[in-house]
Structures are given as C-alpha cells and as structure tokens.
C-alpha cells in the first residue's frame, strides 16, 4: 500500500478556496446579468439623509476628525475587552485562586485607558473650538 504524499493533504483546502471563489464570482456575474441597470431620477437622488450633495466629494477634512474616529475605535475596543471580563468576574477567584486578582487586573487596564484619555485631553485633540491655524 502506497502512502499518500504530504502535499495531497492540502487538496481539500485548495478545493474549498476554489469553490468559495467560484461561488462568489458566479453570484457577481449572475447579478450583473439579472439585475436592471437603469439610472432613473429616483436612483440618482440622495439616499439616506435626503440632503442633495453640493460641492466636490474630495474636500479636505480636519485631522481632528480622523483623530476622533480613531479614539472612538480605541474606546470601543475597550468596551469589547471589558465585556468578557464582566461575564467571568465572579468565576475568577476559582480560576486564579485570588479573590481580587480580576479586580486589580481591570483596575490596571482602566488606569492605562485613563492615562491615555488624560494625554488626549491635554493635547487638545477633543477641543474643536481652537483656530484652524493651531493644527
């Protein structure tokens, strides 16, 4: 009996990737042929906000806009880290053997977050009333 070559073990993975790619390509191609492509006045109107677009879409935004967006993501990730901790908080003494380990662990984490928030406030990132020349 001949053993199966090592490289053949990757054949199922290769087939799965190929099938996934082909299904995606088939869906896009089918939607192109089946869907209607008529640009009517209703389709070209403003979509969600109802405000008609004015000016160039490539206008410049303040750097503070991007900084606030990044800060939002950071604090959102903070909440994502706190949720599992809050769920298993009562079970941590059984796992670690220490009653306050989880509490001090989260306190240190929130301390780092507080230091970051203090730094952000001191730098004036959240102060939108400053003059644009200060950037």
Phi, psi (5° rounding) for residue 11?
-60, -45
* CB-CB contact of 125 with 74 (8 Å): no
DSSP state of 53: P
**Whole-prediction pTM:** 0.48
Asked if 94 and 36 touch (Cβ cutoff 8 Å), the reply is no
For every residue of 30-52, DSSP letters joined together read HHHHHS-----HHHHS--SS-PP
pLDDT digits (tens, 9 = 90+) for 64-123: 788 888 888 888 888 888 888 888 888 888 888 888 888 898 999 999 989 988 988 888
């Amino acid at each position: 009996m001949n053993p199966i070559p090592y490289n053949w073990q990757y054949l199922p993975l290769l087939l799965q990737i190929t099938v996934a790619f082909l299904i995606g390509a088939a869906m896009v191609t089918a939607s192109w042929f089946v869907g209607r492509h008529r640009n009517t006045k209703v389709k070209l109107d403003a979509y969600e906000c109802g405000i008609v677009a004015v000016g160039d879409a490539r206008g410049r935004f303040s750097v503070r806009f991007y900084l606030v967006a990044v800060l939002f993501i950071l604090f959102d990730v903070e909440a994502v880290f706190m949720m599992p901790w809050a769920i298993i908080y009562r079970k941590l003494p059984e796992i670690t053997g220490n009653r306050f380990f989880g509490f001090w662990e989260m306190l240190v984490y929130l301390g780092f977050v507080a230091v970051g928030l203090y730094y952000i406030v001191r730098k004036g990132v959240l102060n939108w009333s400053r003059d644009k020349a200060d950037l």
